[in-house]
Amino acid sequence: MLPLMRFSALLMASLFAVTLPASASPQNTIAPIARQVIPTVVTISVRGQVQEDIDPLLSNPTLREFFGLQIDPAPSKHGFRTSGSGVIIDAARGYIVTNHHVIENADDIVVTLAAGGTFHAKVVGTDSETDIAVIQITAHKLKAIELGDSMRLQVGDYVAAVGNPFGLGQTVTLGIVSALGRAGLGIDGYENFIQTDASLNPGN
For 110-136, what is the mean pLDDT? 93
pLDDT confidence of 6, banded at 50, 70, 90?
Answer: very low
Distances (CA, A) of 101 to 8, 44, 82, 85, 152: 16, 12, 10, 11, 29
- Whether 3 shows a pLDDT value over 60: the answer reads no
Residue 44: helix, strand or coil by DSSP?
strand
* Domain 9-196, second-level architecture: Beta Barrel (2.40)
- 190 or 66: which carries more pLDDT confidence? 190
Q: What are phi and psi of 56, to 5 degrees?
A: -55, -30
One-character DSSP codes across 164-175: -GGG---EEEEE
**Mean model confidence pLDDT for the chain:** 80
Question: pTM score, two decimals?
Answer: 0.74
Instruction: Report pLDDT for 74.
Output: 60
| Residues 6+ away with beta carbon under 8 Å from 144 | 40, 88, 89, 90, 91
Instruction: Report pLDDT for 176.
Output: 95
Low-confidence winner among 77-91, 147-161, 174-188 (lowest mean pLDDT): 174-188
pLDDT tens digits for range 20-51: 555 555 557 889 989 999 999 999 999 988 77
